[in-house]
Amino acid sequence: MLRFFLMTLMTGLVVLAPGATDRTTAGDDEKDEKKVRLRWYGQSMFQLETSGGKLIVFDPHAIPAFAPPRLTADITLVSHPHNDHNMLEQLKDRGRVFEAVTVSKDGKRTDWNPVDEKVGPVRVRNLGTYHDPLNGMQRGKNGVWIVEADGLTFVHLGDLGHELSDAQVRAIGKVDVLMVPVGGIYTLNGEQAQNVVEQLKPRLYVLPMHYGTPGFDDLLGPAEFLDGYKKNFKKMTTTNELEIPVDLKTERFTVVQLGWAKAATKVEPVEKK
Protein backbone atom coordinates (compact mmCIF):
# COMPACT_ATOMS: atom_id res chain seq x y z
CA MET A 1 0.00 0.00 0.00
CA LEU A 2 2.80 2.40 0.92
CA ARG A 3 4.60 1.64 -2.33
CA PHE A 4 1.44 2.32 -4.31
CA PHE A 5 0.95 5.62 -2.47
CA LEU A 6 4.53 6.75 -3.23
CA MET A 7 4.21 5.87 -6.91
CA THR A 8 0.95 7.79 -7.12
CA LEU A 9 2.50 10.78 -5.37
CA MET A 10 5.49 10.81 -7.74
CA THR A 11 3.19 10.58 -10.75
CA GLY A 12 1.15 13.42 -9.35
CA LEU A 13 4.26 15.56 -8.98
CA VAL A 14 5.05 15.06 -12.63
CA VAL A 15 1.53 15.98 -13.62
CA LEU A 16 1.24 18.90 -11.24
CA ALA A 17 4.66 20.38 -12.07
CA PRO A 18 5.10 20.44 -15.84
CA GLY A 19 6.96 23.74 -15.57
CA ALA A 20 10.39 22.11 -15.56
CA THR A 21 9.66 20.48 -18.90
CA ASP A 22 8.06 23.65 -20.22
CA ARG A 23 11.02 25.80 -19.20
CA THR A 24 13.44 23.42 -20.86
CA THR A 25 11.40 23.45 -24.02
CA ALA A 26 11.06 27.22 -23.89
CA GLY A 27 14.81 27.53 -23.42
CA ASP A 28 15.42 25.33 -26.45
CA ASP A 29 12.91 27.32 -28.49
CA GLU A 30 14.51 30.57 -27.39
CA LYS A 31 17.91 29.25 -28.38
CA ASP A 32 16.57 28.09 -31.71
CA GLU A 33 15.10 31.53 -32.34
CA LYS A 34 18.30 33.45 -31.66
CA LYS A 35 19.21 35.52 -34.71
CA VAL A 36 21.72 38.08 -35.83
CA ARG A 37 20.82 40.84 -38.25
CA LEU A 38 23.00 42.34 -40.95
CA ARG A 39 21.99 45.62 -42.60
CA TRP A 40 23.51 47.24 -45.69
CA TYR A 41 23.61 51.00 -46.26
CA GLY A 42 25.25 51.15 -49.67
CA GLN A 43 28.93 51.00 -50.66
CA SER A 44 30.69 48.96 -47.93
CA MET A 45 28.70 50.17 -44.92
CA PHE A 46 27.03 47.47 -42.83
CA GLN A 47 25.57 47.28 -39.35
CA LEU A 48 25.71 43.88 -37.64
CA GLU A 49 23.36 43.37 -34.69
CA THR A 50 24.11 40.36 -32.48
CA SER A 51 21.42 38.32 -30.77
CA GLY A 52 22.25 40.21 -27.57
CA GLY A 53 21.79 43.61 -29.22
CA LYS A 54 25.45 44.59 -29.71
CA LEU A 55 25.90 46.78 -32.79
CA ILE A 56 28.97 46.63 -35.02
CA VAL A 57 29.30 49.12 -37.90
CA PHE A 58 31.67 48.55 -40.82
CA ASP A 59 33.07 51.33 -43.03
CA PRO A 60 30.69 54.26 -42.41
CA HIS A 61 30.25 56.69 -45.30
CA ALA A 62 28.23 59.79 -46.16
CA ILE A 63 27.62 59.26 -49.89
CA PRO A 64 24.58 61.41 -50.79
CA ALA A 65 23.19 58.85 -53.26
CA PHE A 66 22.67 56.37 -50.42
CA ALA A 67 21.64 58.94 -47.77
CA PRO A 68 22.77 56.75 -44.88
CA PRO A 69 21.09 57.36 -41.52
CA ARG A 70 23.03 58.15 -38.37
CA LEU A 71 23.71 54.71 -37.00
CA THR A 72 24.51 53.68 -33.46
CA ALA A 73 27.54 51.46 -32.87
CA ASP A 74 29.06 49.67 -29.91
CA ILE A 75 32.02 48.83 -32.16
CA THR A 76 33.09 50.67 -35.33
CA LEU A 77 35.47 49.03 -37.80
CA VAL A 78 37.25 50.97 -40.57
CA SER A 79 39.04 49.03 -43.31
CA HIS A 80 41.16 51.90 -44.66
CA PRO A 81 41.40 55.72 -44.51
CA HIS A 82 39.38 56.74 -47.58
CA ASN A 83 36.43 59.06 -47.11
CA ASP A 84 33.85 56.60 -48.43
CA HIS A 85 34.86 54.18 -45.65
CA ASN A 86 35.93 56.20 -42.60
CA MET A 87 33.26 58.84 -42.01
CA LEU A 88 33.00 58.47 -38.25
CA GLU A 89 31.10 61.76 -38.11
CA GLN A 90 28.21 59.96 -39.79
CA LEU A 91 27.58 57.90 -36.66
CA LYS A 92 25.42 58.99 -33.75
CA ASP A 93 27.48 56.81 -31.38
CA ARG A 94 30.79 55.23 -32.38
CA GLY A 95 31.54 52.98 -29.41
CA ARG A 96 35.01 51.42 -29.63
CA VAL A 97 36.68 52.45 -32.89
CA PHE A 98 39.23 50.20 -34.60
CA GLU A 99 41.10 51.25 -37.74
CA ALA A 100 42.85 48.57 -39.78
CA VAL A 101 45.15 51.12 -41.42
CA THR A 102 46.56 54.19 -39.69
CA VAL A 103 48.02 57.34 -41.23
CA SER A 104 51.16 59.06 -39.95
CA LYS A 105 50.85 62.58 -38.55
CA ASP A 106 52.41 64.10 -41.66
CA GLY A 107 49.98 62.12 -43.83
CA LYS A 108 52.78 60.60 -45.90
CA ARG A 109 52.83 57.07 -44.56
CA THR A 110 50.26 54.42 -43.77
CA ASP A 111 50.73 51.34 -41.64
CA TRP A 112 48.62 48.31 -40.89
CA ASN A 113 47.24 48.30 -37.37
CA PRO A 114 46.94 44.68 -36.19
CA VAL A 115 43.91 44.12 -33.95
CA ASP A 116 42.79 41.04 -32.04
CA GLU A 117 40.52 42.02 -29.15
CA LYS A 118 37.38 40.96 -27.37
CA VAL A 119 34.77 43.60 -26.72
CA GLY A 120 32.28 41.92 -24.43
CA PRO A 121 31.06 38.78 -26.23
CA VAL A 122 32.41 39.94 -29.61
CA ARG A 123 35.89 39.20 -30.92
CA VAL A 124 37.33 41.47 -33.62
CA ARG A 125 40.56 40.91 -35.51
CA ASN A 126 41.98 41.97 -38.83
CA LEU A 127 44.35 41.06 -41.61
CA GLY A 128 46.48 43.46 -43.65
CA THR A 129 45.90 43.36 -47.41
CA TYR A 130 46.16 45.81 -50.32
CA HIS A 131 43.74 48.09 -52.13
CA ASP A 132 45.18 47.08 -55.53
CA PRO A 133 47.05 44.18 -57.18
CA LEU A 134 50.39 46.02 -57.02
CA ASN A 135 51.05 45.73 -53.28
CA GLY A 136 49.47 49.07 -52.57
CA MET A 137 51.46 51.07 -55.13
CA GLN A 138 48.25 52.43 -56.66
CA ARG A 139 45.79 52.84 -53.79
CA GLY A 140 47.57 51.88 -50.60
CA LYS A 141 46.77 49.42 -47.86
CA ASN A 142 43.49 47.77 -46.89
CA GLY A 143 42.30 45.75 -43.93
CA VAL A 144 40.06 42.68 -43.78
CA TRP A 145 37.87 42.52 -40.66
CA ILE A 146 36.98 39.21 -39.03
CA VAL A 147 34.20 39.40 -36.42
CA GLU A 148 33.19 36.45 -34.24
CA ALA A 149 29.80 36.74 -32.55
CA ASP A 150 27.07 34.27 -31.56
CA GLY A 151 29.25 31.40 -32.74
CA LEU A 152 29.37 32.81 -36.28
CA THR A 153 32.25 34.42 -38.18
CA PHE A 154 31.58 37.50 -40.31
CA VAL A 155 34.28 38.64 -42.75
CA HIS A 156 34.29 42.11 -44.32
CA LEU A 157 36.91 42.45 -47.05
CA GLY A 158 36.94 46.26 -47.20
CA ASP A 159 38.36 47.49 -50.51
CA LEU A 160 40.30 44.35 -51.29
CA GLY A 161 42.07 44.78 -54.63
CA HIS A 162 43.61 41.35 -55.22
CA GLU A 163 43.01 37.66 -54.77
CA LEU A 164 44.27 36.15 -51.53
CA SER A 165 47.39 34.13 -50.89
CA ASP A 166 47.15 30.72 -49.23
CA ALA A 167 48.61 32.25 -46.08
CA GLN A 168 45.97 34.97 -46.03
CA VAL A 169 43.18 32.42 -46.49
CA ARG A 170 44.52 30.44 -43.53
CA ALA A 171 44.83 33.59 -41.43
CA ILE A 172 41.19 34.51 -42.06
CA GLY A 173 40.05 31.00 -41.20
CA LYS A 174 36.50 29.72 -41.34
CA VAL A 175 33.89 32.07 -42.78
CA ASP A 176 30.14 31.94 -42.23
CA VAL A 177 29.11 35.26 -43.78
CA LEU A 178 31.25 37.11 -46.33
CA MET A 179 30.95 40.74 -47.45
CA VAL A 180 32.90 41.14 -50.70
CA PRO A 181 33.48 44.11 -53.06
CA VAL A 182 32.49 43.33 -56.65
CA GLY A 183 32.32 46.67 -58.51
CA GLY A 184 35.81 46.70 -60.03
CA ILE A 185 37.72 49.90 -60.94
CA TYR A 186 39.02 50.39 -57.38
CA THR A 187 38.59 46.85 -56.02
CA LEU A 188 37.94 43.29 -57.14
CA ASN A 189 35.78 42.98 -60.22
CA GLY A 190 33.04 40.40 -60.54
CA GLU A 191 35.23 37.54 -61.76
CA GLN A 192 37.96 38.21 -59.21
CA ALA A 193 35.37 38.40 -56.43
CA GLN A 194 34.05 34.98 -57.46
CA ASN A 195 37.58 33.60 -57.16
CA VAL A 196 37.96 35.05 -53.66
CA VAL A 197 34.64 33.51 -52.65
CA GLU A 198 35.95 30.13 -53.81
CA GLN A 199 39.13 30.72 -51.83
CA LEU A 200 37.31 31.49 -48.58
CA LYS A 201 34.43 29.02 -49.01
CA PRO A 202 31.84 30.80 -46.84
CA ARG A 203 29.34 28.49 -45.20
CA LEU A 204 26.09 30.50 -45.13
CA TYR A 205 25.93 33.77 -47.05
CA VAL A 206 27.82 36.01 -49.47
CA LEU A 207 26.79 39.66 -49.69
CA PRO A 208 28.17 41.71 -52.59
CA MET A 209 29.06 45.32 -51.78
CA HIS A 210 30.92 48.32 -53.22
CA TYR A 211 29.25 48.31 -56.64
CA GLY A 212 27.34 50.75 -58.80
CA THR A 213 23.64 51.31 -58.23
CA PRO A 214 21.05 53.59 -59.84
CA GLY A 215 22.12 57.11 -58.93
CA PHE A 216 25.65 56.00 -58.06
CA ASP A 217 27.52 54.87 -61.16
CA ASP A 218 31.11 55.49 -60.07
CA LEU A 219 31.54 51.70 -60.01
CA LEU A 220 30.48 48.79 -62.18
CA GLY A 221 27.22 47.08 -61.31
CA PRO A 222 27.00 43.62 -59.70
CA ALA A 223 25.91 41.72 -62.83
CA GLU A 224 29.29 40.11 -63.62
CA PHE A 225 29.57 38.77 -60.09
CA LEU A 226 25.95 37.64 -59.76
CA ASP A 227 26.01 35.85 -63.11
CA GLY A 228 28.00 33.05 -61.52
CA TYR A 229 25.39 32.29 -58.86
CA LYS A 230 22.08 31.80 -60.61
CA LYS A 231 21.28 28.61 -58.67
CA ASN A 232 22.04 29.92 -55.20
CA PHE A 233 21.04 33.56 -55.50
CA LYS A 234 18.44 35.50 -53.54
CA LYS A 235 17.41 39.04 -54.42
CA MET A 236 16.08 41.10 -51.50
CA THR A 237 16.26 44.63 -52.88
CA THR A 238 13.10 45.74 -51.04
CA THR A 239 14.92 45.44 -47.72
CA ASN A 240 18.39 46.23 -46.43
CA GLU A 241 18.27 43.60 -43.69
CA LEU A 242 19.19 39.93 -43.61
CA GLU A 243 18.19 37.84 -40.57
CA ILE A 244 20.46 34.90 -39.83
CA PRO A 245 19.54 32.21 -37.27
CA VAL A 246 22.64 31.45 -35.23
CA ASP A 247 22.20 27.70 -35.68
CA LEU A 248 21.52 27.84 -39.44
CA LYS A 249 22.88 24.92 -41.44
CA THR A 250 23.05 24.79 -45.24
CA GLU A 251 24.64 22.58 -47.87
CA ARG A 252 25.91 25.59 -49.85
CA PHE A 253 26.11 29.32 -49.30
CA THR A 254 23.54 31.71 -50.74
CA VAL A 255 24.46 34.95 -52.48
CA VAL A 256 22.10 37.69 -51.25
CA GLN A 257 21.68 41.03 -52.99
CA LEU A 258 20.25 43.45 -50.46
CA GLY A 259 18.67 46.84 -51.03
CA TRP A 260 19.99 49.89 -49.23
CA ALA A 261 17.08 52.34 -49.09
CA LYS A 262 14.98 50.92 -46.25
CA ALA A 263 15.76 52.50 -42.88
CA ALA A 264 16.66 50.04 -40.15
CA THR A 265 15.88 50.04 -36.46
CA LYS A 266 17.87 51.95 -33.86
CA VAL A 267 18.85 54.72 -36.26
CA GLU A 268 17.99 58.38 -36.73
CA PRO A 269 17.76 60.26 -40.03
CA VAL A 270 20.56 62.59 -40.97
CA GLU A 271 19.66 66.18 -40.20
CA LYS A 272 19.65 68.43 -43.24
CA LYS A 273 22.06 71.32 -43.06
How much is the pLDDT for 267? 38
How much is the pLDDT for 228? 87
Catalogue the E-assigned strands of 110-176.
Answer: 110-112, 116-119, 122-130, 141-149, 152-156
Which residues on adjacent β-strands are paired with residue 146? Answer: 125, 155
Secondary structure of residue 255 in the 3-state scheme: strand
How much is the pLDDT for 272? 35
How much is the pLDDT for 39? 97
CA distance 50 to 125: 17
Phi-psi region of 67 (alpha: psi -120 to 50; beta: other; left: phi over 0): left
Contact 193, 161 (CB under 8 A): no
How much is the pLDDT for 107? 84
For the chain, 273 residues long, give each residue's pLDDT as a single digit of tens: 444 444 444 444 333 333 333 333 344 444 457 999 999 999 999 999 999 999 999 999 999 999 999 999 999 999 999 989 999 999 999 999 999 999 988 888 899 999 999 999 999 999 999 999 999 989 999 999 999 999 999 999 999 999 999 999 999 999 999 999 999 999 999 999 999 999 999 999 999 999 999 889 889 999 999 998 988 999 998 999 999 999 999 999 999 999 987 444 343 443 333
How much is the pLDDT for 32? 57
Domains of the chain with bracketed CATH: 35-259 (3.60.15.10)
Contact 153, 204 (CB under 8 A): no
CA distance 54 to 149: 9
How much is the pLDDT for 49? 98
CA distance 155 to 44: 12
Contact 166, 194 (CB under 8 A): no
Report the run of H or E that residue 239 belongs to, with start and end: none
